[in-house]
Amino acid sequence: MMKMHVGINVTDLQKSIQFYEKVFGIEPVTVRPDYAKFLLDSPELNFTLNLKDKVSGNQVGHFGFQVDDVDEVIHHKNRLEKLGFFAREEMDVTCCYATQDKFWVTDPDGNEWEFFYTKTTEHLQNSDQEGCCQNDHS
């Protein structure tokens, strides 16, 4: 069995732990003064936070969770909004070679997380869509 691992650098470990506890719906399995680890079952993911003095925004395009249907997108959007996160919604958008229903939340260091359902695949990227497939969704 393989479990995906993602490690990100953060500047405020406690703020980041609080953010990811809410996003993932679980507590970390390990917390140290400069480190925290979450082990998710669905999707299978080993996700770590690594404390650094400075982080300059989103160093990757973005992170995301692909879900099975639009109802699941709405469920997570409502859940996270109730926890105080502003969720930028993009319903029925065509970008990244797909038509999707999705929303975004941003962690304390600027890393963006997308929750999305792919409705159809497309032959065009539709790069005219603002922010489409880019890491600048501010």
- For 25-83, the pLDDT digits (tens) are 999 999 999 999 999 998 899 999 989 898 876 567 688 899 999 999 999 999 999 99
- For 72-131, the pLDDT digits (tens) are 999 999 999 999 988 789 999 987 778 999 999 999 988 889 999 989 887 665 555 455
Rounded to whole angstroms, how far apart are CA atoms 94 and 64? 16
Neighbours of 9 (CB within 10 A): 17
Does the pTM surpass 0.85? The reply is no
What does the DSSP assignment read for 60-109?
A: SS-EEEE-SSHHHHHHHHHHHHHTT---EEEEEEEETTEEEEEEEEE-TT
Please tell me the predicted confidence (pLDDT) of residue 94. 86
Rounded to whole angstroms, how far apart are CA atoms 136 and 73? 21
Rounded to whole angstroms, how far apart are CA atoms 32 and 53? 16
